Amino acid sequence: MVNFELFVFYVFAAILVFSASRVITVRNPVFAAMFLVLTFFTCAGIWLLLEAEFLAITLVLVYVGAVMVLFLFVVMMLDVNVEPGREGFVSYLPVGLLVGAIMLIEMIFLITQRYFKSENFPPPARAAEDVSNTKELGRLLYSEYLFQFEIAAIILLVAIVAAIALTMRRRPDTKYQKPSEQIGVTKAERLRVVQMPSEKR
Amino acid sequence: MIDSILHLLWTVIKIVAILLPLIISVAYLTLAERKVIGAMQVRVGPNRVGWKGLGQPFADMFKLMTKEVIIPTNSSRFLFLTAPILSLAPALAAWAVVPFDDGLVLADLNAGLLYILAMTSIGVYGVIIAGWASNSKYAFLGAMRSAAQIVAYEIAMGFALIGVLMVAGSLNLGDIVRAQSGGFFSWFLIPLLPLAVVYFISGVAETNRAPFDVAEGESEIVAGFHVDYSGMAFAVFFLAEYANMIMIAALTAIMFLGGWLSPIDGFGDGIHWFLIKTAFCLFLFLWFRATFPRYRYDQIMRLGWKIFIPVTIVWIAVVGFAVYFELGPWFQIRANGI
């Protein structure tokens, strides 16, 4: 069964690398966003192989189900034209190569060091069948890493408040309804009964 | 090797055993919808094909199968044809973790509830991609409306489910049902009534059903995201919508109405109770459609963001206190090992 797992891993990894490279090479931004969705989905598949089912499903739920939907929403609305974006390609190329080279060197340093060699990381032992990944994660988050968890939560909350504060402004020209006032309307406010004689033929 | 092949074959047989009845129920749900709404509007509904109109779904199906699939000019052909599949596949995949009876489930996931949430949230792609790939303004407007609506209601839906898992103490759907054992008054419908209402209404919104069907909105944007679809491509969208409805109904039955449990404790539990409860929730879907006029777009957003989300947050806090202090008959955590 181990070989089959390896086979599945390679299939997923191939799809992952292919779709991730297509994200930046494909011309149409909508297709790029869809490839990014495929990348996330395949990544979740690989995480499932690592028995990290909670993280895998959360990845699909948060990134595929919510973030990318909003992304697509924006990309479709903007109707981006790609061509002008490619004009400065040559002039930006040296900077891009420099950044890429630095990242490559850093990664080589990391991976070739003795602490991070793959021999130092034997494949984790299979968890017993009744071990719930979710429960273990929750236990760790709310006991050992509670402080870090709370800090992350506060940062997210601040981000939400900031985003709302930036976009919420009074716009006097827009007309919106106040349902409480609509419900509170009485007959006297809207209806005027006029007494008048009937018209002659 | 032979063992694993047999295992695979057995799994495929189980998948077929779930999907075949599901698709037949989708077919008959369309008939039930027309009959029920007909009865509510004092009409007879379809009664020509077969005995009392029972052949109608098949007549519709064959009609759609023989029609031409028209692909609009300047549209993205690949995405245009993938969109219906993208909307149907998650609707069917979510059924993998639904427990029909004690132990009668395809995949007994520990994180089943999360899986369901993830699958239902993927379904929106079909709608968005269909709207964009059709290269039509009406379809695009429908897709935009649908995307905003589904994102808004998913949050309320997720919060409602948090309440369920707090009381049940588990993400496993089977364990959630088992935590409700003890007759009608132990069902989560009673301690979590606000969440149950929010969940079901969000479910109606999530499946783009009346009164939240602005994504189709035939009076304003013709038929919304599937205006350019015809024949089998349209039929697949239809199938996905009804499969999603049955899904939401089944989940409501599992999480708030005690799944396969009988209302009288220990008296004839079984799959028939699950089916009866699901059918009842489906009837509510049809009832809503016959009763309520369509919401306006801004009213939908207001309901989702300003009413449902605060209601669920308040009730989660209430449930949190109740579980912590182990109040009443409902909030002692019955699940094992916490």
Q: What is the pLDDT of residue A158?
A: 95
User: Which residues in A lie closer than 8 A to residue B302 (C-beta atoms)?
Assistant: 179
A93 touches chain B (CB under 8 A): no
Q: Is B49 left (phi over 0), alpha (psi -120 to 50) or beta?
A: beta
CB contact under 8 A, A65 and B171: no
What pLDDT does B249 receive?
92
pLDDT band at A129 (very low <50, low <70, confident <90, very high): low
Q: Say yes or no: A151 contacts chain B, CB-CB below 8 A.
A: no
Residue B247's closest CA among B75, B123, B66, B126? B123
Mean pLDDT computed over every residue of chain B? 83
How far apart are the CA of B275 and the nearest CA of chain A, in angstroms?
28
Nearest alpha carbon to residue B83 among B153, B22, B146, B17: B146
What is the per-residue pLDDT across B4-27, written as a single tens digit (0 to 9) for each?
788 888 888 888 888 899 888 998
Q: How many residues does chain B have?
A: 338
Long-range contacts of A66-70 (CB under 8 A, 24+ apart): A66/B121, A66/B151, A66/B154, A68/A33, A68/A36, A68/A37, A68/A40, A69/B121, A69/B124, A69/B125, A69/B128, A69/B147, A69/B150, A69/B151, A70/B147, A70/B151
Task: Average the pLDDT over B283-311 and give the result.
Answer: 87
| For range A34-50, the mean pLDDT | 89
Residue B2's closest chain A neighbor by CA? A1
Mean pLDDT of B66-78: 81
Q: Which among B45, B300, B268, B32 has a CA at the least distance from the CA of B150?
A: B300
Reply yes or no on whether the pLDDT at A104 is more than 50.
Answer: yes
pLDDT at residue number B67? 86
What are the pLDDT digits (tens) for A130-147?
677 777 888 888 888 899
Nearest to A68 by CA among A110, A21, A31: A31
Cβ within 8 Å, pair A132-B110 = yes
pLDDT-based confidence at A155, cuts 50/70/90?
A: very high
**Residues of chain B found within 8 Å of residue A179, distances taken between Cβ atoms:** 302
When comparing pLDDT for B4 and B311, which is higher? Answer: B311
Q: Do B118 and A135 make contact, defined as CB atoms within 8 angstroms? A: no
Q: Please tell me the least confidently modeled range out of B37-51, B120-134, B258-272, B290-304.
A: B258-272
Q: Does residue A159 surpass a pLDDT of 60?
A: yes
- pLDDT on residue A1: 53
List the beta bridge partners of residue B104: B101
Assess whether pLDDT exceeds 50 at residue B336.
no
Distance CA B114, CA B107 (A): 13
Q: Distance from A72 to chain B by nearest Cα, in Å?
A: 8
Q: Over 70: is that where the pLDDT of A2 sits?
A: no
Confidence of residue A97 (pLDDT cuts 50, 70, 90): very high
Q: Does A71 touch chain B (CB under 8 A)?
A: no
pLDDT at A82 (0 to 100)? 59
Determine contact: A72 vs chain B, CB below 8 A.
yes
Q: Are B129 and A34 in contact, with CB atoms under 8 Å apart?
A: yes
- As for the ipTM of the complex, it is 0.80
Q: Is the pLDDT of residue A107 over 70?
A: yes
Which residue's entry shows tokens 């479910």? B203
Interface mutation vs chain A, best among B151, B299, B309, most A CBs within 10 Å: B151
pLDDT given at position B335: 44
Neighbours of B151 (CB within 10 A): 18
Query: Measured between alpha carbons, how far is B22 from B28 in angstroms, rounded to an integer?
Result: 10
Cα Rg of chain A (Å, integer): 28
Q: Mean pLDDT throughout B162-189?
A: 82
| Smallest CA–CA distance from B338 into chain A, residue | A135
Cβ B151–A70 below 8 Å, yes or no? yes
**A52-61, A109-118, B155-164, range with the lowest pLDDT:** A109-118
Q: Do B128 and A53 touch (CB under 8 A)?
A: no
pLDDT at A86: 63
What pLDDT sits at residue A161? 93
Is the pLDDT reported for residue B338 higher than 50? no
**pLDDT at residue B217 in the model:** 66
Are the C-beta atoms of A65 and B158 separated by less than 8 Å? no
Three-state SS annotation for B95-149? HHHCCCECCECCCCCCCHHHHHHHHHHHCHHHHHHHHHHCCCHHHHHHHHHHHHH
Q: Vertex A110, ends A106 and A112: CA angle to 5°?
A: 115
Residues in A closer than 8 angstroms to B115, CB to CB, are 57
Residues pairing with B101 in the sheet: B104
Determine the length of chain A.
Answer: 201
Using CA atoms, how far residue A51 sits from A41, A45, A152, in Å, is 15, 10, 24
> Nearest CB to A73: which of B114, B144, B337?
B144
Which one of B122, B173, B295 would you mutate to disrupt binding with A, by most A Cβ within 10 Å of its Cβ?
B122
Which residue in B118, B147, B338 is closest to A69 by CB distance?
B147
For A163-167, A175-179, B200-204, B319-323, which range has the lowest pLDDT when averaged over its residues?
A175-179
